[in-house]
Amino acid sequence: MIEVIDDGEWIRPALDPSALDLAYFEAAAEGRLIVQRCDSCDHRQFPPKTLCTNCGATPGWMQTAGVGEIHTFTVVRRHGVEPFRSMAPFILAMIDLPEGARLMGNVVVADPEVVRVGDPVEAYALRIDARMALPLWRTPGLELTGGPDGPDMVVGIDAAGDSRP
């Protein structure tokens, strides 16, 4: 299960997901990070598609452990549109799950400079409304600070005291 945080105000653009994508956001609101799994060939995939990209069968869903590793990432330092302009710098990453899917998402940290490829991350979810939540990622061991952007901000030193240059 992943933690679902409700900070009381959804400031990002409204989501209007397709029926296929809706299952992902609804599961997140229930504390579950899910990806598609093909019942025929066991292929795991994300984002959701109507067909298995490996064999063409109709995929189902599976719950993941909600953990992963940063495959690659970029630091978005400037953005032209609010609320993302005020959120910058922020990290957009590709996350490899042990279950075999690769997801894109934000890794939420106070200082993007401490993040490295290969870092372990864990999912949590930010509530959008009564029905949906948005999965986000954070680095385990980093303390929540409750900074100006809310409870999803973290400090850049991990529990082991690893202050990377």
Write out the residues near Zn ion by the rule CB under 5 A: 38, 40-41, 43, 52, 54-55, 57
CB of 49 to Zn ion, least distance (A): 11
Rounded Cα distance, 133 and 146, in Å = 19
In the complex, least distance from residue 97 CB atom to Zn ion, rounded to whole angstroms: 17
CB closer to Zn ion, 12 vs 49: 49
Q: How far is the CB of 40 from Zn ion (least distance, A)?
A: 5
Q: Which is nearer to Zn ion, 62 or 76 (CB)?
A: 62
In whole angstroms, the minimum distance from the beta carbon of 100 to Zn ion comes to: 12
DSSP state of 32: -
State the minimum distance, in angstroms, from the CB of residue 56 to Zn ion: 7
Comparing CB distances to Zn ion, the nearer of 49 and 131 is 49
Tell me which amino acid residue 116 is.
R
What's the rounded Cα separation, in Å, for the pair 78 and 88? 6
Nearer Cβ to Zn ion, position 59 or 105? 59
Which string of DSSP letters, residue by residue, matches 50-102? SS-TTT-PPEEEEE--SEEEEEEEEEE---SSTTHHHH-SEEEEEEE-TTS-E
CA distance 38 to 17: 22
Give the residue with the Cβ less far from Zn ion, 1 or 55. 55
Sign for the CA dihedral angle at 31, 35, 41, 42 comes to negative
